[in-house]
Amino acid sequence: MAHGRFVQEYQKGSVNGASPVKLVIMLYDGVLRFMEAGKHAMLAGNVEKQNQSLQRAQKIIMELMSCLDMQNGAEIATNLLALYTYSLEQLVQSNLKDEPAGIDRSISIFSELRESWVAIEKAVRPTGEETEHAA
């Protein structure tokens, strides 16, 4: 019990101290984790776990969509919205039809987007910070 509480406090501290770019990366990590879990559950025939995991992935995508600044984000926000919408539709259809292909497409999209955000984070990170969070 105590261990779980410490893990939650650590995670909360990680989120509270994270930059906006790092928060996006954390959301991408979560959506990818839930998509993978949903796909594995689908392949194993565990419909309850499949549905639960894919719905959690969908909620994260909807959260990402709601955070887009469509007024100031210009073409980047519009393109991200299109990719998020497409991925969301793919997950819903995959879940309804028990077909993993849409999950695979969404995983591919979010993996590439994640790589881009990691590159952005490295570009804006102050010098010397990469060793600070190694612990």
* Three-state SS at 125: coil
Could you tell me which CATH number the domain at 17-122 has? 1.20.120.340
Closest CA to 133 of 4, 25, 3, 5: 25
Question: Residue 11 pLDDT > 80, yes or no?
Answer: no
Range in 18-22, 66-70, 104-108, 113-117 the model is least confident about: 18-22
Residue 15's pLDDT is 55
Residue 135's pLDDT is 40
Closest CA to 120 of 11, 9, 20, 10: 20
Residue 18's pLDDT is 81
The string of pLDDT tens digits covering residues 67-91 is 999 999 899 999 999 999 999 999 9
pTM for the full model? 0.81
Burial 83-92 (b: 16+ CB within 10 A, else e): bbeebbebbe
Alpha helix stretches (DSSP H) within 45-100: 47-66, 74-97
Residue 130's pLDDT is 53
